[in-house]
Amino acid sequence: MKAPTIIVCIKNIPDPEGPKEAYEIHGDINKVVVVGIPPVINPYDENALELAIRLKERFGGKVIALNMAGKAVKPVLKKALSVGADELILLEDPAFKDLGSYSTAEVLSAAIRKIGSFDLILTGRQAADWDSGQVGLLMGEMLKIPGIALVQKAEMEDGMVTVEKLKRNGHERVRAPMPVLLTVSSEVGDLRFPTLTAIKAALKKPVEVWNASDLGLEAGILKTKAIRAVIPPPSNERQCLYMEGATSQEKGENLAVKLRRDNVI
């Protein structure tokens, strides 16, 4: 089997481990503004990057990390180079800000066509900011290649990829001809830690930057538009009711009766 080319789509998002107080709703501009939280690579995309590097270690080839943003955060995204990606391509243009899932998939697909030959495209199962889980399979449809979601393992052999795809109760094995797109789940495992030497080397590696014009997308990119962003008013009707009973079992029974009377259960 020839050495494969693997493209991994990565997105930078506010750190999902940040406190909820850092998210401010600005109704005047209909946006949720994040204050004081550093950006990170989407954790699910890190799972995809880890799978790509494992496949590269077994089968050779190269890994290309691809990011799209209105303004790229290079220091964060260079983490991909420090853990084993060979190239980092940034799609950076003000026109790429606030895109919906469909338009995001269009931009990434245009970049992949510009890259040319590839064997695998890996994405995270979803982004941890919006949790839409749509971009990956939309790209598969736009590029007219098979798309398999929720992958936890993958093998390549003789132009085919065999994966374990998560199901509600277990998993199923699926085979598809390459090129193919996989959305990768967290069951793959966490991204490895880079060494200090690799981090220093990544800082010196060149990064390719493409804008909308480079992709032939000067016009027609559809953006999302928030209709309204509001802070829910505090409820003045909240009441606290303590369940009475001589034992825990009696208190539980009284609670069940109360919930049934209130049509909660």
Check residue 249 and give its pLDDT.
92
Check residue 34 and give its pLDDT.
85
Per-residue pLDDT of the chain (265 residues; tens, 9 = 90+): 789 999 999 999 999 888 888 888 887 777 788 888 889 999 999 999 999 999 999 999 999 999 999 888 999 999 999 999 999 999 999 999 888 899 999 999 999 999 999 999 999 999 998 888 999 999 999 999 999 999 999 999 999 999 999 998 889 999 999 999 999 999 999 999 999 999 999 999 999 999 999 999 866 676 666 666 666 666 666 678 888 899 999 999 999 998 888 887 7
Check residue 230 and give its pLDDT.
67
Check residue 11 and give its pLDDT.
96
Instruction: Write the CB contacts of 47 (distance below 8 Å, at least 6 apart in sequence).
Output: 124, 125, 184, 185, 186, 188, 189, 190, 191
Contact 87, 110 (CB under 8 A): no
Check residue 264 and give its pLDDT.
78
Check residue 46 and give its pLDDT.
97
* Terminal Cα-to-Cα distance of the chain (whole angstroms): 58
Contact 24, 32 (CB under 8 A): yes
Check residue 159 and give its pLDDT.
92
Check residue 207 and give its pLDDT.
95
CA distance 28 to 20: 20
Contact 23, 36 (CB under 8 A): no
